[in-house]
């Protein structure tokens, strides 16, 4: 989403760890999610090269950032890319806050060898689904493979942004 920040709202975010913007129409602070419940917990912030724009990386709760209920004020298309970050965050959360009978915790407890074995199994199932030409089954198997890759990424200290950076570099090189 796009919102305005002044010194007061910036200080509020630093103090509370959740997004807070400056409402130009109401001329007051606007703590995102205070009334809607769609709170945005700040994961990181950085300024652009001129220090006149602020990018805020958040863990979003509730229906979405937009008052329409969409994940993003720029449309739901961005939500498709954020699901990788959401799943990765959930894996991190399971590591920090284990839950009984959680499959993610099972993998984390068993270690990297078990997670790598699952990648092999899911890769084979993905190959078979592709060979069978069943798009629904293939999408399911690719999802399983992607999940297990994210678990191994977490175990190995690789972040989704690391992979995005590599893919971006390859895309630029291919042009």
pLDDT at 59 (0 to 100):
83
CB 51 within 8 A of CB 75: no
Please report the DSSP string for the chain in residue order: ------HHHHHHHHHHSB-EEEETTTTEEEETTTTTS--EEEEEEEE-TTSS-EEEEEEE-SS-SSTTS-SSTT-THHHHHHHHHHHHHHHHHHHHS--TT-HHHHHHHH-HHHHHHHHHHHHHHHHHHHHHT-HHHHHHHHHHHHHHHHHHHHHHT--HHHHHHHHHHHHHHH-
Residue keyed to tokens 């010194």: 7
d(CA 23, CA 41): 19
Per-residue pLDDT of the chain (175 residues; tens, 9 = 90+): 889 999 999 999 999 999 999 999 999 999 988 888 888 989 888 888 888 889 998 887 776 777 776 767 776 555 556 788 889 989 999 999 999 999 999 999 999 999 999 999 999 999 999 999 999 999 999 999 999 999 999 999 999 888 888 888 887 787 7
Identify the CA nearest to 64 among candidates 90, 32, 29, 94: 32
Provide the pLDDT for residue 80. 58
Contact indicator for 148, 119 with CB cutoff of 8 Å: yes
CA distance 125 to 46: 41
The pLDDT, as a whole number, for residue 147 is 97
Fold classified for 80-174: Helix Hairpins (1.10.287)
Q: For position 20, what pLDDT does the model report? A: 93
Does the global pTM surpass 0.75? no
Residue 27 — left, alpha, or beta (φ > 0 → left; ψ -120 to 50 → alpha)? left
Q: Where are the domains of the chain?
A: 7-60, 80-174
Superfamily (CATH H level) for 7-60: Phosphoribosyl-AMP cyclohydrolase (3.10.20.810)
């Amino acid at each position: 989403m796009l919102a305005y920040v002044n010194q007061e709202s910036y200080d509020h975010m630093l103090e509370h760890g959740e997004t807070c913007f400056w409402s130009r129409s109401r001329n007051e602070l606007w703590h995102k999610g205070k009334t809607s419940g769609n709170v945005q917990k700040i994961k990181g912030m950085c300024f652009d090269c001129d220090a006149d724009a602020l990018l805020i990386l958040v863990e979003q709760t509730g229906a979405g950032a937009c008052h329409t209920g969409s994940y993003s004020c720029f449309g739901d298309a961005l939500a498709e890319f954020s699901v990788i970050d959401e799943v990765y965050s959930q894996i991190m959360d399971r590591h920090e806050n284990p839950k009984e009978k959680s499959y993610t915790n099972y993998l984390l407890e068993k270690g990297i060898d078990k997670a790598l074995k699952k990648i092999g199994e899911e890769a084979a199932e993905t190959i078979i689904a592709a060979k069978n030409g069943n798009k629904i089954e293939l999408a399911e198997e690719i999802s399983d493979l992607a999940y297990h890759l994210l678990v191994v990424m977490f175990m190995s200290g690789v972040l989704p942004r690391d992979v995005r950076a590599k893919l971006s570099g390859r895309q630029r090189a291919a042009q």
